[in-house]
């Protein structure tokens, strides 16, 4: 394990203290080349998994070519890869990035700096609009003019989610504020060094620090929320995300990008964990309640052995 190799010599019991900032600050000891090498290996693992699914469909069902492509058969490991995987509830706006199709096509099909988006997820059986959104995205993925740069991975579950939060480069999240309660998939992606590209809602309001990803949707006017948010997304992609990803040195390593990956891990891993959450509940609530005689909710309880 990469972290063990570079953190354990200084902090042998680091995993017992993974809610501490000083533990994750040691991520800076990991050489950029090693972190990038691991990230690329996880990306290849994700893509191989997708290709395995499509090969199965081709061999078993003789799937139509358009469906094979829509499932990710043309995914390129060297292209900037955005992931979007979650429930297809309408407020999550899975199809927001398709507001301006011509502009999106230009971004995805840039011959020198291509971008691809991998979608996955399911709609509730009773959510007809959610199912229609899913269907539209799949139909976009089938269209030749997108050049196979959009993929929809079927059979979404824990295993697919695991590969995605580890293997994509960017984690996209664009619900309608303030309807996002949390956004745990983004937390998991962040700890894996995947950079979040999210609207100002849910956990990202606390998680974003200006150096560990990108945020949008802060200054909308409510005239046309979807169009405004999508336009801001396109601009950030064109001016910030794509240039940063493809800004590599002579060794092929995007140093600025890797620095943001490290910042993503350092800033979010200690804060967004079950260990930190349980300890905070304990210190702020449970301990104070148990030590307060006037408000001890257990004072009138009969011990089990006396019943």
Looking at residue 72, its pLDDT comes to: 94
CA dist., res. 9 & res. 191, Å (int): 21
pLDDT of residue 12: 72
Q: Where are the domains of the chain?
A: 31-272
Dist CA 4 CA 303 (whole Å): 46
Q: Span 29-44, mean pLDDT? A: 97
pLDDT of residue 9 exceeding 70? yes
pTM of the complete model beyond 0.85: yes
Q: Which residue has the tokens 């169009």?
A: 227
Strand partners, 119: 84, 152
Q: At what angle do helices 225-236 and 101-108 cross, to 10 degrees?
A: 20
Say which residue, 173 or 60, is predicted with more confidence.
173
Looking at per-residue pLDDT, the higher value among 260 and 303 belongs to 260
Sequence-separated (6 or more) residues with CB below 8 Å from residue 115:
79, 80, 81, 82, 107, 108, 149, 237, 242
pLDDT higher for 293 or 149?
A: 149
pLDDT value of position 60: 82
Q: How confident is the model at residue 303 (pLDDT cuts 50, 70, 90)?
A: low
Q: Write the CA distances from 93 to 36, 99, 280, integer angstroms.
A: 31, 11, 33
Number of H helices, E strands in the chain: 14, 6
Confidence of residue 274 (pLDDT cuts 50, 70, 90): confident
Give the DSSP letter of residue 79.
S
Sequence-separated (6 or more) residues with CB below 8 Å from residue 186? 171, 173, 196, 198, 202, 203, 204, 207
Above 70 in pLDDT, residue 295? no
Please choose, from the candidates 167, 177, 184, the residue with its C-alpha nearest in 3D space to the C-alpha of residue 93. Answer: 177
Task: Return the CATH superfamily for domain 31-272.
Answer: Glycogen Phosphorylase B; (3.40.50.2000)
| Helices 184-191 and 158-167: angle between axes, nearest 10 degrees | 50
> What local confidence, expressed as pLDDT, does residue 306 receive?
47
Of the chain, the percentage scoring pLDDT greater than 70 comes to 94
Predicted confidence at residue 292, as pLDDT, reads 72
Nearby residues of 258 by Cβ (< 8 Å), 6 or more positions away:
32, 35, 36
pLDDT at 243: 99
Peptide bond into 178 cis (omega under 30): yes
Looking up tokens 């539209």, which residue turns up? 136
pLDDT tens by residue, 137-156? 999 999 999 999 999 999 89
Tens digits of residue pLDDT in 158-201: 999 999 999 999 999 999 999 998 899 999 999 999 999 999 99
Tell me what the pLDDT averaged over the chain comes to. Answer: 91
Q: How many CB atoms lie within 10 A of CB 58?
A: 16
């Amino acid at each position: 394990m990469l972290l063990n190799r570079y953190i354990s010599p200084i902090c042998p019991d680091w995993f017992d203290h993974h809610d501490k900032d000083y533990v994750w600050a040691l991520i800076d000891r990991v050489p950029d080349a090693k972190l990038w090498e691991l990230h690329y290996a996880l990306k290849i693992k994700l893509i191989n998994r997708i290709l395995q699914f499509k090969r199965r469909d081709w061999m078993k069902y003789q799937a139509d070519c358009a469906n094979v492509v829509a499932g990710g058969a043309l995914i390129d490991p060297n292209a900037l890869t955005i992931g979007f995987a979650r429930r297809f509830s309408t407020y999550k706006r899975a199809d927001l990035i398709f507001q301006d199709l011509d502009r999106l096509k230009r971004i995805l099909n840039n011959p020198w700096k291509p971008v691809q988006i991998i979608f996955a997820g399911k709609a509730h059986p009773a959510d007809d609009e959610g199912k229609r959104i899913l269907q539209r995205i799949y139909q976009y993925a089938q269209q030749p003019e997108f050049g196979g740069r959009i993929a929809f991975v079927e059979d979404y579950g824990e295993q697919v989610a695991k590969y995605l939060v580890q293997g994509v480069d960017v984690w996209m999240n664009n619900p309608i504020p303030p309807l996002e309660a949390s956004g745990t998939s983004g937390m998991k992606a962040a700890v894996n060094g995947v950079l979040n590209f999210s609207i100002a809602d849910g956990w990202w309001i606390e998680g974003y620090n200006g150096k560990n990803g990108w945020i949008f949707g802060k200054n909308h006017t409510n005239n046309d929320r979807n169009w405004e948010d999508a336009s801001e997304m396109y601009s950030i992609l064109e001016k910030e995300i794509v240039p940063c990803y493809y800004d590599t040195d002579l060794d092929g390593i995007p140093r600025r990008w890797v620095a943001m990956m490290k910042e993503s891990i350092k800033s979010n891993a200690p804060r967004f964990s079950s260990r930190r959450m349980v300890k905070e509940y304990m210190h702020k609530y449970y301990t104070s309640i148990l030590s307060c005689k006037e408000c001890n909710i257990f004072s009138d309880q009969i011990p089990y052995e006396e019943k």
